[in-house]
């Protein structure tokens, strides 16, 4: 759970193991079905959650073209990385790129476009992660020719 305000920052103090809880499902409209053929999925840290779900569901909800999943993390083992790589290895047209920002530097639009070999104007891009990372990547992607209506992002903070 991410501490984003007064209430969520105090939850760890208030909750105890075994307490009952009611958890609601996702309420957003973040879906790769909104995208076109060639898609880039960009996850930063805990922003990997929707992409993990999408990868697990590719048999039921395939993408019409190629998928390049970029998973940026900061040092240490990245949660779910082995599973994501295994899912991609079993499918044509699906690739997972693990980006350790401590070792590899920050993920950039230039790197993404070079890796995919697809012009920015043809890509559908989906992003979920920390706000500063997404803000920078959105700016870079727009400058590289990705159309604004082809950039989709999930907000995992309180609005």
Contact yes or no for 62/92 (Cβ under 8 A) = no
Q: Which two tokens stand for residue 119?
A: 């012009």
pLDDT score of 37 more than 80: yes
Given CA atoms 151, 37, 29, 132 in this order, what sign does their dihedral have? negative
Q: Which helix (H) or strand (E) holds 98?
A: strand 94-100
Total number of residues shown for the chain: 159
* Residue 98: closest CA among 110, 80, 116: 80
pLDDT score of 156 more than 80: no
What does the radius of gyration of the chain's CA atoms come to, in whole angstroms?
A: 17
Residue with the larger pLDDT of the pair 102 and 31: 102
- 45: which DSSP letter? G
* Residue 156: closest CA among 52, 44, 68, 79: 44
Mean residue pLDDT of the chain comes to: 88
pLDDT class for 159, splitting at 50, 70, 90? very low
Rounded to whole angstroms, how far apart are CA atoms 73 and 132? 14
Read off the pLDDT of residues 49-84 as tens digits, 9 standing for 90 and up: 999 999 999 999 988 889 999 999 998 889 999 999
pTM: 0.82
Three-state DSSP class for residue 40: strand
The domain made up of 36-153 has a fold known as Rossmann fold (3.40.50)
Residue 154, number of CB atoms within 10 A of its CB: 19
Domain ranges of the chain: 36-153
Q: Which helix (H) or strand (E) holds 42?
A: strand 39-44
């Amino acid at each position: 759970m991410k501490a984003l305000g007064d209430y969520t920052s105090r939850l760890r103090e208030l909750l105890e193991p075994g307490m009952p809880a009611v958890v609601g499902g996702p309420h957003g409209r973040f879906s790769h079905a909104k995208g076109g053929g060639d898609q880039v999925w960009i996850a930063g840290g805990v922003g990997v959650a929707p992409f993990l779900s999408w990868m697990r569901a590719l048999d039921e909800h395939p993408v019409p073209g190629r998928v390049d999943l970029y998973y940026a993390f900061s040092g240490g083992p990245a949660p779910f990385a082995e599973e994501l790589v295994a899912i991609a290895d079993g499918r044509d047209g699906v690739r997972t790129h693990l980006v350790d920002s401590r070792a590899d530097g920050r993920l950039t639009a230039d790197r993404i476009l070079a890796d995919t070999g697809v012009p920015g104007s043809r890509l559908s891009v989906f992003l979920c992660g920390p706000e500063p990372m997404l803000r920078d990547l959105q700016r870079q992607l727009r400058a590289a020719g990705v159309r604004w209506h082809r950039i989709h992002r999930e907000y995992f903070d309180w609005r």
